[in-house]
């Protein structure tokens, strides 16, 4: 079983829509969680960290469910510029090794 699993998509949504992605992780000892965004032919960039209490940054909301071992990313009022691949990242804490999901592709259409 993979450490981190994501639905590859693509998710095709109209501008203004709300879209949500989930990501599951296999190791209950995982301690840190992040969402990264990767644009076509670019390197991944940190979108937001995911805290136990959940956190919000503008149109983006991230949540962690430790009991079910998943994290989620909600994007409200989608913009064309949100089109990208969203990568879920999990860190176990020992020696700071990170595990990446394979990414979920989002296409926001006019």
Partner 1 sequence: GAGVSQSPSNKVTEKGKDVELRCDPISGHTALYWYRQSLGQGLEFLIYFQGNSAPDKSGLPSDRFSAERTGGSVSTLTIQRTQQEDSAVYLCASSLAGGSSYTFGSGTRLTVV
Q: Which residues bind partner 1 (CB under 8 A)?
A: 31-32, 34, 42-46, 49, 87, 89, 91, 93, 95-103
Task: In whole angstroms, give the CA distance from residue 37 to residue 2.
Answer: 20
Task: In whole angstroms, give the CA distance from residue 52 to residue 63.
Answer: 7
Q: Which is nearer to partner 1, 16 or 93 (CB)?
A: 93
Q: How far is the CB of 18 from partner 1 (least distance, A)?
A: 25
Q: Which of 24, 37, 13 is nearest to 90 (CA)?
A: 24
Q: How far is the CB of 47 from partner 1 (least distance, A)?
A: 10
Q: Which is nearer to partner 1, 69 or 91 (CB)?
A: 91
Contact 88, 74 (CB under 8 A): no
Q: Which is nearer to partner 1, 75 or 89 (CB)?
A: 89
């Amino acid at each position: 079983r993979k450490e981190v699993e994501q639905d590859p998509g693509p998710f095709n949504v109209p501008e203004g829509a709300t879209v949500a992605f989930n990501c599951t992780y296999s190791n209950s000892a995982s301690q840190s969680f992040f969402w990264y965004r990767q644009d076509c032919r670019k390197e991944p960039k940190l979108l937001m960290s995911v805290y136990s209490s959940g956190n919000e940054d503008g149109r983006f909301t991230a949540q962690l469910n430790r009991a079910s071992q998943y994290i989620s990313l909600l994007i409200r009022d989608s913009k064309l510029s949100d089109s990208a691949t969203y990568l879920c990242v999990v860190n176990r804490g020992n020696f700071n090794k990170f595990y990446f999901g394979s990414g979920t592709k989002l296409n926001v259409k006019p």
